[in-house]
Amino acid sequence: MRGLLVFLVPFLVYAQGAKSDLDQGRAVFRSNCAFCHGMTGQGGRGPNLVSGQSTHGRTDADLKRIITKGVPGSSMPSFSDIEDKELARLVLFVKALSGGVATKETPSGNAANGRRVYARHACSACHRIGDEGSVYGPELTRIGAGRSLAYLREAIVNPSADVPPEWEGVEVVEKDGTEVRGVRVNEDTFTVQLRDPSQKFRMFDKSEVKEVRHLGATSLMPAYDGMPKEMLEDLVSYLYSLRGQGADAKAIQPRKGVQ
């Protein structure tokens, strides 16, 4: 009995310490990562972290590298200024998200059929996979590595559910009434630059047009909400299978400091 007590006390102290590290890891996750990965890690603009799948590795060293260096070709930024101790706690929490339990997401459709659905709907008129397709819409080369199944499904059926700022649409009404619609490439107080569906840049001085309409949360992509369920699941499966190296290696922006 006495021996057991002696044994238990250090264990309890250890367990409490471990819990608080996990809590602190959760706090770091909520304030830094949840914006893209969701409050519970189920995914969003960033991949689902609960499923335990990762294209970039799951060891402590892998996770530390991904967090501090970012993922080139994706929208995962680098968190280079994170303190070592906080990083260790964050890694602990991210690993705990998947809980070591196999909750792998399994697409229910047929990816080969999905590829045909993709072709039939001329998705490549706006999207690009590898070297094929258009740069008008988001590149899909590695979209399966960066999004959950639920996100992909919703992005097809209701694309306006989530429009990242870099894909917001703008409509410019010229003085003669001509409407030019496109993805906003850049904008400032006095000018706006778009990419139109033919992949051409269109640039305007705001004082020389009748109106500039910001589509905001309304996606430029049509909603495929009437797509038969089986076809949709095939397409989702195809997109989920896309895990190639992105061609658009975006510059990784460190966060701006605030005094």
Which residue from 135, 122, 145 is spatially nearest to 167, judged by alpha carbons? 135
**Residue 22 and residue 120: Cα distance in Å, rounded?**
48
Specify the DSSP class assigned to residue 74: S
Report in angstroms how near the CB of residue 192 gets to another protein at its nearest: 9
User: Do residues 30 and 38 make contact, with C-beta atoms less than 8 angstroms apart?
Assistant: no
Instruction: Please report whether residue 131 would count as binding another protein according to CB under 8 A.
Output: no
Report in angstroms how near the CB of residue 211 gets to another protein at its nearest: 15
Instruction: Please report whether residue 166 would count as binding another protein according to CB under 8 A.
Output: no
The stretch among 18-26, 49-57, 149-157, 231-239 that binds another protein (CB under 8 A) is: 18-26
Q: What is the C-alpha R_g of the chain?
A: 23
Report in angstroms how near the CB of residue 124 gets to another protein at its nearest: 28
Instruction: Please report whether residue 103 would count as binding another protein according to CB under 8 A.
Output: no
Instruction: Please report whether residue 27 would count as binding another protein according to CB under 8 A.
Output: yes
Residue 150, CA distances (Å) to 95, 97, 163 in order: 21, 18, 15
Instruction: Please report whether residue 160 would count as binding another protein according to CB under 8 A.
Output: no
Question: Judged by CB under 8 A, which of 187, 197, 244, 252 binds another protein?
Answer: 187
Residue 79 backbone dihedrals phi, psi, to 5 degrees: -110, 70
Instruction: Please report whether residue 217 would count as binding another protein according to CB under 8 A.
Output: yes
**Residue 21 and residue 17: Cα distance in Å, rounded?**
6
Show the binding pattern over residues 63-102: x = contacts another protein (CB under 8 A), - = does not.
Answer: --------------------x-x-----------------
Question: Judged by CB under 8 A, which of 8, 13, 39, 249 binds another protein?
Answer: 39
**Residue 116 and residue 237: Cα distance in Å, rounded?**
12
